[in-house]
Amino acid sequence: MSESKMPNKSTTTKSSAPKVRRLQSRRQHRLVTNVRVFRYGVRNFTRNSWLTVAATAVMTITLLIMFVTIAASQMLNSTVVSLREKIDISIYLDPSVSDDTLRNLKGKMQLVENVRTVSISNSKQQYQDYVQQYPDKLETLATLAEQGIDPSEKFPAVMNVKVNDLSNLTPIKKVVGEDPQFKQWLYSKRAPSYAGEQQDTINRIASWASFAKQLGLILGSVFLVISVLVIFNTIRMAIFSRRDEISMMRAVGADRHFIRGPFLIEAEMYGILAAIVATVIGYFLFIWVTPGLEAYGIATAEIRDILSNWMIAIFAAMIAVGLLIGYVSARLAVRRYLK
């Protein structure tokens, strides 16, 4: 009795076979439909060359502005960081200060808030550095030596202090001005250098970076809107010029995906082409302006490494943005004018 209730394996296989065939048929039909949609979209893209050029050019400008804005902001920010790394505070001490006193003063400065690193150089080391840097001054120094004056004793010892925040130098100034040992050994003929002019330069470059970013965002937003409008109107004109063809497709039972798909493909091709052109122009533009920027002290090494090491990722990101702009623009146009 239990054997009679067991399902027949051959019967189950036969009943599931039609379902498998229907599923395979649907997949093949979907694949064929998508291929046709893509082919019609490519054909529409090449059908009207003037509209294609106009839409691609505007989107290229939009993507190029985005590329330049990001690169310029990165370069200026890198320049600010580089300048802050190079600039230090110089505290000049009497040439007669001993090495032990220098080390003691260095230990005190390292405990001050906002101090990152401290280096010291005594009078003889400063003299040697001066001779190496200015070999043409050896004759003058030799004249002083002939007069019985030791030139090395005329160079002050120096304490160089690097800080985390150049805008917060109050703790350092307080120690230098109030600590008895610092006051005793400060060089009377040369006041400490707190990098006031350099800080002004850094602040100016930082403001340029902020301005470039804001200007890029504004221009990018303006041309983004223009790109959407241009592609929107391009797709609208394409829909209007092919209204009889669309009506015929509807009459024979074509679904909305088959009618809408070619227009989306067409707009996305605008985005792909514009992204490729904008990225290539951006790369060559960067190569062209790099020597001039470096001559003015703009740090380009970091953005150059990014562009070199992440070239494929940058291309992919630009293409993704172009696809998104094209898709959104076409979707709005198709949604409105295919009702």
Residue 90 neighbours by CB under 8 Å, 6+ apart: 158, 159, 160, 161, 192, 193
pLDDT of 76 higher than 70: yes
Report, at the CATH architecture level, how domain 88-194 is classified: 2-Layer Sandwich (3.30)
Summarize the confidence of residues 178-189 as an average pLDDT.
Answer: 86
Tally of CA atoms within 13 A in the half-sphere of 263 that contains its CB: 30
How confident is residue 300, by pLDDT bands cut at 50, 70 and 90? confident
pLDDT of 214 higher than 50: yes
Q: What's the confidence (pLDDT) of residue 50?
A: 75
Instruction: For residue 255, give the nearest of 64, 85, 60, 36 by alpha carbon.
Output: 36
Q: What's the confidence (pLDDT) of residue 174?
A: 87
Specify the DSSP element, H or E, that contains 163: strand 157-163
> What percent of the chain has pLDDT above 70?
69
| Residue, of 200 and 299, whose pLDDT is higher | 299
Q: What's the confidence (pLDDT) of residue 34?
A: 64
pLDDT of 314 higher than 60: yes
pLDDT tens by residue, 29-45: 566 666 776 676 667 66
Q: What's the confidence (pLDDT) of residue 1?
A: 44
pLDDT of 2 higher than 50: no
Highest-scoring range by mean pLDDT, 9-13, 53-57, 158-162, 300-304 = 158-162
Q: What's the confidence (pLDDT) of residue 5?
A: 52
The mean pLDDT of the chain is: 76
Domain residue spans of the chain? 37-82+202-337, 88-194
Taking the C-alpha atoms of residue 129 and residue 114, their distance in angstroms, rounded to an integer, is: 28
Summarize the confidence of residues 246-273 as an average pLDDT.
Answer: 74
pLDDT tens by residue, 110-147: 888 888 888 888 888 877 777 777 666 655 555 655 55
pLDDT of 303 higher than 80: yes
Q: List the single range of 31-35, 69-73, 326-330 with lowest mean pLDDT.
A: 31-35
Highest-scoring range by mean pLDDT, 93-102, 131-140, 164-173 = 93-102
pLDDT of 95 higher than 50: yes
Residue 159 neighbours by CB under 8 Å, 6+ apart: 90, 91, 93, 102, 105, 106, 109, 118, 119, 120, 121
> What percent of the chain has pLDDT above 90?
2
Taking the C-alpha atoms of residue 186 and residue 176, their distance in angstroms, rounded to an integer, is: 8
Specify the DSSP element, H or E, that contains 187: none
Taking the C-alpha atoms of residue 83 and residue 48, their distance in angstroms, rounded to an integer, is: 52
User: 225 is written with which tokens?
Assistant: 């809107």
Highest-scoring range by mean pLDDT, 43-52, 180-189, 190-199, 232-241 = 180-189
pLDDT of 204 higher than 60: yes
pLDDT of 275 higher than 80: yes
How confident is residue 155, by pLDDT bands cut at 50, 70 and 90? confident
Taking the C-alpha atoms of residue 246 and residue 96, their distance in angstroms, rounded to an integer, is: 95
Single-letter amino acid, residue 144: L
334, exposed or middle or buried, with CB in 10 Å at 0-12, 13-18, 19+? buried
Instruction: For residue 84, give the nearest of 186, 179, 242, 201 by alpha carbon.
Output: 201
Q: What's the confidence (pLDDT) of residue 280?
A: 92
